[in-house]
Structure 1
């Protein structure tokens, strides 16, 4: 029997992984205790997505467990043992701002939880491929010291800089920079995953995501940029832009495209490898540009205001360079562009909220 184990299985990337791998493995086991609702309130609840997965995929088994507690993880790993061929670890506390409220919780979820999963893998299914969903926030605010130029709708990097063509590569320093506590806890997890690959020879892979998005995102004010933005466009709820004149740039990767990266890695793993994973030059936008697209798709004028206070550790300009991954896995490419992704988010959100334009 071949088993895929997905943590954070009712979240955006977790649920996409369940759907993607459901026809590639005999059993897909999801671990999710809906802590996202604790982090972000009812907007962040993933209960609807858990119910959807259980209805849609007969070989999906859901387990409510806290990754901070080995006592809750060990029975799951013992039950399936060496039949576990793939672990996709997406469970996390994902917000800069929230991490500062409860540093112990943030670190115990992001860092200690990852260590627990790595050890359970090493003890029970050491040949399995272990994929970790990291973040571009491991680079801290180092990207903010690049030579940036302000244009009418966005910040952009000087065209003479090596990062102009493809974006930021994996060799940007993680050191001597302000991360936010969230960024720091993800750095700890990121390095742990690398070390289990390099030290123990396990098939671990780290994917440093840009903005991860898609139609099954439970976007909230503190996390889920495009999903929450589109929700505000549909409902008329107020949206606040924090700092940088609304010209801060993010690259955005559709959840399916990211999970497809996981699939390529699974088939030919490179132990301890690290990849930037975002929309790159293929799919990126500033906040102001995203608002324009949301207004065009929804047909509604957005209700938003601007605050001069930017979020601590936030990036002014970040575009991921995926050249390394594409060199290692040349059959992979993006499927969705920004407009297609936002249109999917809109249609899914309308259905979920029972809102008509």
Structure 2
């Protein structure tokens, strides 16, 4: 099968591309190498994808291009059986500073992908959305019927992506699925995320920094669970036209997370606190029953197991990864 992964040099896209190549598929990665964070991590993702292809019967092709470029997108989508659209301008706080850029990439870019797929023989487009679409919780855990009132331009752009994805299914008959990710983490994750920062600071005998009072909670989802959710959509139509939550087994308070990482790595440290950003969500927690019913999604990695795996990986890759985290 020929698979296109937009944003395939990024964190989630890079893991997906490597897994698909490992499984013997012909993978095309479209990525513009936006320097939102150090590009050394993206280079590592590309290396992993190429290595996976070399060790299997699959292929790996990298196309440097921007999803805002209609011609580039059209050429990349043309021969793809399935498109996994992961490319986006990430970052809630970045979106507050650059809302127009976020809209151009996340909304206009997604429209380019959907339009190209409509004009081709593409069998399915899987679009990466975010728990940021929910905004302020009326109840927890969030199910997909919960009101969507995003509190950041990023969340608003992801909600617009979802709506266009649904419209292309309903109006044009294009098989589409939108997956609402809940704070994905794991090896080669973005260096400016809470878990990577907590681990890095503790390993360097520096106190973890919490933004706000730490009572805010997150549903952290390990990358392997996210990969499995996407893999099921290669050959099932059960979720076409749907939006699905992709979360973990539970949620955790940020303060508790910081304390547990601190207690394991540097128990002598005191936590530090800084001002919380208004655009940061107060709580996230996924109801995954719909994803379980339609695609058999069952996350298997608890936050404590996932953090332990990430910490082990961090230590093994500290020589190249840590400088990127420290400079983020």
Q: TM-score over 0.5 for the alignment?
A: yes
Tell me the TM-score normalized by structure 2. Answer: 0.88
Match of 2:326 in 1: none
1:172 maps to what in 2?
146
Deviations 1:110-159 (A, max 9, x none): 11111111111111224x21111100111122x1x55xxxxxxxxxxxxx
Task: Determine which of 323, 335, 342 is the counterpart of 2:289.
Answer: 323
| Structure 1 unmatched runs, 5+ | 147-162
Contact 1:250 1:285 in 2 (8 A): yes
CA contact (8 A) 1:96 1:312 kept: no
Task: Give me the whole-angstrom Cα distance separating, in 1, the residues matched to 2:119 and 2:84.
Answer: 17
Matched, 1:95 2:126: no
CA distance in 1, matches of 2:100, 2:32: 18
- 1:225 corresponds to which residue? 194
Structure 2 CA distance for partners of 1:261 and 1:216, relative to 1, 3 Å? same
Q: How does 1:24-43 map to 2 (within 5 A)?
A: 24-35=23-34, 37=35, 39-40=36-37, 42=38
Structure 1 residue 290: deviation in Å? 1.1
Determine the structure 2 residue equivalent to 1:253.
221
8 Å Cα contact 1:205-1:272 kept in structure 2: yes
Residue among 268, 275, 294 paired with 2:244: 275
Count residues with an aligned counterpart: 315
Task: Give the corresponding residue for 1:334.
Answer: 299
2:125 match: 130
Alignment of 1:182 onto 2:150 = no
Hey, what does 1:262 align to over in structure 2?
230
1:119 alignment partner, one of 92, 102, 115: 115
Match of 1:140 in 2: 135
CA contact (8 A) 1:198 1:271 kept: no
Structure 2, gaps ≥5 residues long: 321-328
Q: Distance in 1 between matches of 2:205 and 2:126?
A: 38
CA distance in structure 2 between the partners assigned to 1:34 and 1:348 by the alignment: 24
- With a CA cutoff of 8 Å and minimum separation of 6, indicate the structure with the bigger relative contact order: 1
Distance 2:204 2:252 in 1: 22
**Aligned position for 2:61:** 61
Matched-pair contact (CA < 8 Å) for 1:211–1:225:
no
Give how far 1:204 is off: 0.5
Q: In the alignment, what sits opposite 2:170?
A: 198
Whether the 8 Å CA contact 2:22–2:53 is kept in 1: the answer is no
